[in-house]
């Protein structure tokens, strides 16, 4: 039997399964003539707020914009410091630097890839304006000790949940734990749009109003601009299509978790370190990321076999040329160093089958 083509993320296969509903949603928007904001965006915001059990959800143009709008709403600016992780996508640091603030990095646990709350207090200063934990690869950071520290010191927490929609921590979905949650609907995400799209969520009504203003040029009333804002509106087409996909999100999370369990079984007893699933919450496996020695040579062998794979992330943010002088250089970050040298992400999506996963696992083990 021939193995079906293996994709890192099979967005086309997923679309084909819900094509009639997606096409109907597109047609509905096109016939409405309402392409910017409007009832589709409002309905999606309400549905996402209900799904996440938060009081307010505000659509925006991307996950990166969500992070920037969140920090703007908290008043982050020149001279301020924001504590975060160096092991994540560049957007987390990018928005800090764009606002004139300084990123301050804390090491990660190389088993979960998430920020270590026990190391945060040591880097806090009178200039610390926010803390951004990243729920990386689909697993929540350890939020209880982080939130206890933040509340004791009066520092707001912005949850970067761009990779973790639907993940939970001790039964509470991420996004509603800190002051603000930031979501990306990039097409490859567990809940992916058909282009860029994002959202900010909060339980604070005053923050919600400010977030909404900032995303719409700082305005509540047309041509009256109360605060400095940006143009970052979730368009109606993306909202309508995301409404369709949201109805299947829990089913898709189940499929990803099942695929992760299959990988775990295929790699059991080998030299592959499989992802640690913390006992504190539900991992939604945006990525299935293993750790292996001699990662780069293994990746090269997979490329020869035409097996999709990715390295998220080979260069930590404090070592990136654009950010090397943006903030204080951190001390030793051994967890980050281990992860950057050893992580390898394998195909993970809702359309994987066991035949494909067996081919992928065998290729990794042969390369070992």
CATH of residue 358: 3.90.1150.10
> Which of 212, 227, 246 is where one domain is finished?
246
Q: Give the residue carrying structure tokens 């997606």.
A: 22
Question: Per the domain annotation, does 352 fall within a domain?
Answer: yes
Q: Which residues have a Cβ under 8 Å from the Cβ of 108 and sit 6 or more positions away?
A: 85, 86, 87, 114, 115, 116, 333, 335, 336, 339
Both 127 and 180 in one domain: the answer is yes
- Asked whether the beta carbons of 298 and 364 are under 8 A apart, the reply is yes
Candidates 288, 210, 225, 224; CA nearest to 255 is: 288
- Asked whether the beta carbons of 199 and 66 are under 8 A apart, the reply is yes
Alpha-carbon torsion 70, 75, 79, 83, what sign? Answer: negative
> Which of 189, 221, 246 is where one domain is finished?
246
Candidates 299, 359, 296; CA nearest to 6 is: 359
Tens of each residue's pLDDT in the chain, 368 residues: 466 789 999 999 999 999 999 999 999 999 999 999 899 999 999 999 999 999 999 999 999 999 999 999 999 999 999 999 999 999 999 999 999 999 999 999 999 999 999 999 999 999 999 999 999 999 999 999 999 999 999 999 999 999 999 999 999 999 999 999 999 999 999 999 999 999 999 999 999 999 999 999 999 988 999 999 999 999 999 999 999 999 999 999 999 999 999 999 999 999 999 999 999 999 999 999 999 999 999 999 999 999 999 999 999 999 999 999 998 889 999 999 999 999 999 999 999 999 999 999 999 999 98
Which pLDDT score, from 0 to 100, does residue 329 have?
87
pTM higher than 0.85 for the full model?
yes
Tell me the sheet residues that pair with 173: 168
Both 150 and 202 in one domain: the answer is yes
d(CA 159, CA 140): 9
- Asked whether the beta carbons of 190 and 284 are under 8 A apart, the reply is yes
> Which of 190, 222, 246 is where one domain is finished?
246
Q: Which domain holds residue 151?
A: 11-104+115-246
Both 45 and 178 in one domain: the answer is yes
Candidates 341, 338, 332; CA nearest to 314 is: 341
Question: Per the domain annotation, does 311 fall within a domain?
Answer: yes
């Amino acid at each position: 039997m021939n193995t079906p083509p293996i994709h890192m993320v099979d967005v086309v296969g997923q679309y084909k399964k819900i094509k009639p509903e997606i096409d109907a949603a597109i047609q509905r928007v096109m016939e409405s003539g309402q392409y910017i904001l409007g009832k589709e965006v409002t309905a999606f915001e309400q549905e996402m707020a209900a799904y996440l059990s938060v009081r307010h959800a505000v659509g925006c143009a991307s996950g990166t914009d969500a992070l920037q709008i969140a920090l703007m709403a908290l008043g982050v600016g020149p001279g301020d410091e924001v504590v975060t992780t160096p092991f994540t996508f560049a957007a987390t640091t990018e928005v800090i630097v764009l606002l004139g603030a300084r990123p301050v990095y804390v090491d990660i646990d190389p088993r979960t890839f998430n920020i270590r709350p026990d190391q945060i207090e040591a880097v806090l200063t009178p200039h610390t304006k926010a803390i951004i934990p990243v729920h990386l690869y689909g697993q929540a950071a350890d939020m209880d000790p982080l939130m206890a520290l933040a509340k004791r010191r009066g520092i707001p927490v912005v949850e970067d949940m761009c990779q973790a929609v639907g993940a939970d921590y001790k039964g509470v979905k991420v996004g509603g734990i800190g002051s603000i949650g930031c979501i990306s609907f990039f097409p490859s995400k567990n809940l992916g749009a058909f282009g860029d799209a994002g959202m900010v969520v909060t339980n604070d009504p005053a923050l919600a109003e400010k977030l909404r203003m900032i995303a719409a040029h700082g305005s509540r009333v047309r041509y009256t601009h109360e605060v400095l804002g940006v143009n970052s509106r979730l368009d109606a087409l993306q909202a309508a299509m995301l409404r369709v996909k949201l109805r299947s999100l829990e089913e898709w999370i189940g499929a990803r978790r099942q695929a992760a369990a299959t990988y775990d079984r295929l790699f059991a007893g080998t030299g592959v370190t499989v992802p640690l699933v913390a006992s504190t919450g539900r991992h939604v496996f945006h990525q299935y990321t293993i750790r292996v020695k001699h990662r780069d040579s293994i990746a090269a062998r997979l490329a020869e076999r035409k097996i999709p794979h990715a390295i998220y992330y080979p260069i930590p943010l404090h070592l990136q040329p654009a950010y090397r002088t943006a903030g204080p250089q951190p001390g030793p970050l051994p967890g980050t160093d281990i992860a950057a040298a050893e992580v390898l992400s394998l195909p993970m999506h809702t359309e994987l089958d066991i035949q494909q996963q067996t081919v992928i696992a065998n290729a990794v083990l042969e390369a070992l």
